[in-house]
Amino acid sequence: MRLHPHTDSPTHPSGSLRHRTGRLAGTAAALAVLAGLGPLAGPGAHAADNPYERGPAPTTSSIEAPRGPYAVSQTSVSSLSVTGFGGGTIYYPTSTSDGTFGAVAISPGYTAYESSIAWLGPRLASQGFVVFTIDTLTTADQPDSRGRQLLAALDHLTERSSVRGRVDASRLGVMGHSMGGGGSLEAAKSRPGLQAAIPLTPWNLDKTWPELTTPTLIFGADGDSIAPVSSHAEPFYSSLSSSLDRGYLELNSATHFTPNSSNTTIAKYSISWLKRFIDNDTRYEQFLCPLPRPSLTIEEYRGNCPHGS
Ligand code: 856
């Protein structure tokens, strides 16, 4: 619900990821030169600028499209073969020509299964991420448990899965729907090294998340009567540190279950957030900044632009 103009704090402290990214990229470039790798080393022509950049330069069309540039393969993970979560499906770019990829684990909500968030698997993986949509140990698990399960799934993905060699274990994120979205906040609180969190119409009894250091984009739905934005998504967003890279996107004409089907707005801004913060890819800042305006699909957007414009 729109109470104030969409803006957040215009300041952006020097500890922001933008500045850290600059130093990281500079260090990587210097190391590449020292190693004699030359300016074109690694995947893509701009690898010397950002070693984590994957795929072609994005356009509005390319991030709104049902599929991105990468062909996607998938592999099923049996619940009997893992501990700490309920198994799931890993979606990953088929190509091994572009080095490793960042990864994201995604939890469903209360009473729900992996199938309820499965559309995000190929949608995100085709943009250049390894995506693990999971089942929980029981469908009644609460957000704190879902948070632990998301982390167990990431550990399985990077340490034991058949695609572990394709994943960059230093560039990981979490997503989830409803109690799974509440779980993604719990996971980021427990593991500050996560690079991105995206709770989708999140539900949690804990309303305050000032400890988070992970860039977090929260999706709310204006018509949500199960996790009303006034008592869930909005206070979660407002409790995040104003110095954190944070966003709040309230979907227009949407319900608690909007994230359970293909949705261009969710995909477009999730891709942009994951690319910006897991891949350090500033080519996607154009979609996050200036802040998106209200539209037929966006009731409101709050956040701090990386550039403060
Ligand atoms: C898919 C979360 C009191 O809490 C609730 O009634 C409630 C209901 C559903 C969900 C949820 O995760 O829904 C998503 O089932 C809380």
pLDDT digits (tens, 9 = 90+) for 139-175: 999 999 999 999 999 999 999 999 999 999 999 999 9
Q: 18-73 pLDDT, tens per residue?
A: 333 333 333 443 433 334 333 334 455 554 599 999 999 999 999 999 999 999 99
| Cis amide prior to 306 (ω within 30 degrees) | no
Fold entry, domain 22-303: Rossmann fold (3.40.50)
Can you give the pTM of this predicted structure?
0.87
Q: How confident is the model at residue 171, as a pLDDT?
A: 99
Whose CA is closest to atom 14 on ligand 1? 109
Active site residues: 178, 224, 256
Whose CA is closest to atom 1 on ligand 1? 109
Mutate to test the pocket of ligand 1, among 138, 226, 229, 236 (most ligand atoms within 8 A of CB): 226
Q: Residue 238 C-alpha to ligand 1 middle, in angstroms?
A: 22
Domain boundaries, the chain: 22-303
Report the nearest atom of ligand 1 relative to the CA of 109. 12
Whole-angstrom distance, CA of residue 61 vs CA of residue 49: 25
Q: Residue 81 C-alpha to ligand 1 middle, in angstroms?
A: 28
